[in-house]
């Protein structure tokens, strides 16, 4: 049985896009660091897989940063 979370994470719909993109960028950057640190603990074959996942997360971070730059330019 799944219990409801008493304080589920929520995003204010009135938040500006810049704030949301900045939070996403920081989260993806943190995920990249955690994945890289964890990859260092694994054997070679699993390390390569995790480093591939790390690269995908990095690409997501780059895309978010590019979108953030465009939002900042419009203002």
Among 37, 61, 64, residue whose Cα is nearest residue 50: 37
Residue of 1 and 58 predicted with greater confidence: 58
CA distance 73 to 44: 43
Residue 5 lies inside a defined structural domain of this protein: no
Residue 8 has pLDDT above 90, yes or no: no
Residue 60 lies inside a defined structural domain of this protein: yes
Residue 31 lies inside a defined structural domain of this protein: yes
What is the token pair recorded at 19? Answer: 């704030």
pLDDT range class, residue 37, cuts 50, 70, 90: very high
- Tally of structural domains, the chain: 1
The residue segments making up the domain with residue 61 are: 17-74
Residue 70 lies inside a defined structural domain of this protein: yes
pLDDT score, position 4? 78
């Amino acid at each position: 049985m799944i219990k409801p979370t008493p304080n589920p994470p929520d995003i204010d719909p009135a938040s500006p896009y810049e704030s949301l993109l900045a939070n996403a960028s920081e989260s993806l950057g943190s995920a990249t660091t955690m994945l890289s640190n964890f990859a260092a603990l694994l054997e070679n074959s699993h390390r390569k897989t995790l480093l591939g996942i790390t690269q995908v997360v990095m690409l997501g971070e780059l895309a978010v940063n590019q979108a953030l730059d465009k939002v900042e330019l419009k203002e």
